[in-house]
């Protein structure tokens, strides 16, 4: 069966070289570092229903170089159903095929297949084994999750454990991951892309890269947050928006950047500016602790689980209130 109807989490039209882009390939204004990471199909997945015993997935992968994230970027296809990991198979470089057990659940129970994202896969086809498979109904509210490397899933042990993926499963949301590692400083071009997408709810969870990678002063942060939210609102005047300031980063909390702003300063600026607008604001300062950081910057699996629980609950509440 053709793969395209089963693909979820991809809001932009692909190209011959980037089949599942997470930013608009035609928008030349986005920074190079944003486009570099947007070429990874983070959060892109297959969603299936049916009574088959298993599903065969034919694919092709483009690389084995997973960079800083290593295996956490994804080397396997993993199938989840009913909130549980049912089966997992390693992906090979180049063309291949995996068979994933569907676990004997009732046919209408949605199965989610997470991809080996870091290997840049292209899904060629799907077929049921021992019964039928169909595309899962496209009936879940779409959630646009904008952010930085934490939203992209660094340093979870696999794509299925990134907090947006966990929250998406728990809250039954169609999550589109627009987390850009090393980037996502609240660029207006990204805000305009979000403004042009259909969405039932939007989260904005950047800020860490405004401390050091592209340093911001407090005034710059105030202006950037205001502009980002205002541009998003131009396309989504009534859509619920949840803003989450950066999670803890011990080396940055009280360390001034070149403009004299600490991460704590930038976090408070983000929260203050967002609070002036019609959005839900969550302070990231105490959502997780240092013990939940795998490398002093990015959450481990437990940290991602906590973020999914707290932020996911607010996202679901926002969707329910707006319905």
Dihedral of CA atoms 72, 73, 75, 79 in degrees, nearest 10, equals 80
Say whether both 260 and 177 belong to one domain: yes
Domain end among 135, 168, 199: 135
Contacts 24+ apart (CB under 8 A), 266-271: 266/207, 266/210, 266/211, 266/216, 266/218, 266/221, 267/207, 269/218, 269/221, 269/222, 269/225, 270/207, 270/221, 270/225, 270/243, 270/245, 270/246, 271/243, 271/245
pLDDT at 67: 87
Residue 42 has pLDDT above 90, yes or no: yes
Say whether both 253 and 150 belong to one domain: yes
Structure token digits, residue 40: 């990874």
CATH code of the domain in which 316 resides: 3.40.50.1110
pLDDT tens, residue by residue, 166-217: 999 999 999 999 999 999 999 999 999 999 999 999 999 999 999 999 999 9
Say whether both 170 and 123 belong to one domain: no
pLDDT band of 69, cuts 50, 70, 90:
confident
Say whether both 86 and 227 belong to one domain: no
Rounded mean pLDDT, 284-292: 97
Contact 86, 100 (CB under 8 A): yes
Domain end among 119, 135, 151: 135
Residue 18 has pLDDT above 90, yes or no: yes
pLDDT tens, residue by residue, 222-252: 999 999 999 999 999 999 999 999 999 999 9
pLDDT band of 323, cuts 50, 70, 90:
confident
pLDDT at 126: 98
Q: What is the rounded CA–CA span in Å between residue 315 and residue 127?
A: 34
Q: How many domains does the chain have?
A: 2
Dihedral of CA atoms 18, 20, 24, 28 in degrees, nearest 10, equals -20
- Give me the domain span that covers residue 47: 4-135
pLDDT at 68: 85
pLDDT at 272: 98
Calculate helix-pair angle for 163-171, 301-322, nearest 10 degrees.
40
Which position has the token pair 């960079």? 67
Say whether both 153 and 295 belong to one domain: yes
Residue 86 has pLDDT above 90, yes or no: yes
CATH code of the domain in which 10 resides: 2.60.120.260
Say whether both 220 and 246 belong to one domain: yes
Say whether both 120 and 181 belong to one domain: no
In this structure, of 105-109, 160-164, 203-207, the range with the lowest mean pLDDT score is 105-109
pTM exceeds 0.95: yes
| Best CA proximity match to 52, nearest among 122, 115, 109 | 109
The DSSP 8-state label assigned to residue 217 in this structure reads -
Say whether both 53 and 171 belong to one domain: no
Contact 305, 229 (CB under 8 A): no
Q: How far is CA 105 from CA 29, 52, 81, 84, 108, in A?
A: 46, 9, 8, 11, 8
Say whether both 126 and 150 belong to one domain: no
Rounded mean pLDDT, 313-322: 96
Domain end among 78, 105, 135: 135
Say whether both 106 and 36 belong to one domain: yes
φ and ψ of 240, to 5 deg: -60, 135
């Amino acid at each position: 069966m053709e793969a395209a109807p089963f693909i979820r989490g991809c809001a932009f039209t692909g190209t011959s070289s980037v089949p599942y882009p997470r930013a608009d390939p035609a928008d030349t204004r986005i920074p190079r570092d944003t486009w570099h990471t947007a070429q990874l199909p983070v959060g892109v997945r297959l969603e299936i229903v049916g009574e088959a015993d298993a599903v065969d997935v034919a694919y092709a992968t483009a690389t084995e170089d997973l960079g800083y994230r290593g295996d956490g970027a994804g080397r396997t296809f993993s199938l989840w159903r009913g909130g549980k990991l049912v089966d997992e198979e390693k992906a090979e470089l180049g063309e291949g095929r995996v068979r994933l057990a569907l676990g004997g659940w009732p046919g209408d129970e949605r199965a989610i297949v997470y991809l080996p994202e870091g290997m840049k896969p292209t899904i060629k086809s799907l077929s049921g084994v021992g019964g039928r498979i169909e595309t899962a109904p496209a009936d879940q509210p779409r959630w646009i999750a904008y952010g930085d490397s934490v939203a992209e899933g660094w340093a979870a042990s696999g794509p299925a454990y990134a907090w947006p993926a966990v929250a998406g499963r728990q809250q039954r949301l169609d999550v589109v991951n627009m987390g850009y590692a090393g980037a996502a400083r609240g660029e207006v071009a990204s805000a305009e892309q979000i403004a042009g997408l259909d969405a039932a709810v939007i989260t904005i969870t950047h800020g860490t890269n405004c401390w050091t990678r592209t340093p911001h002063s407090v005034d710059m942060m105030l202006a950037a947050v205001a502009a980002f939210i205002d541009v998003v609102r131009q396309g989504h005047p009534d859509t619920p928006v949840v803003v989450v300031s950066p999670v803890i980063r011990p080396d940055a909390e009280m360390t001034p950047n070149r403009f004299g702003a600490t991460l704590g300063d930038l976090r408070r600026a983000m929260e203050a500016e967002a609070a002036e607008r019609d959005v839900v604001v969550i302070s990231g300062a105490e959502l997780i602790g240092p013990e939940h950081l795998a490398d002093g910057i990015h959450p481990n699996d437990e940290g991602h689980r906590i973020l999914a629980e707290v932020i996911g609950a607010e996202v679901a509440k926002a969707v329910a209130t707006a319905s």
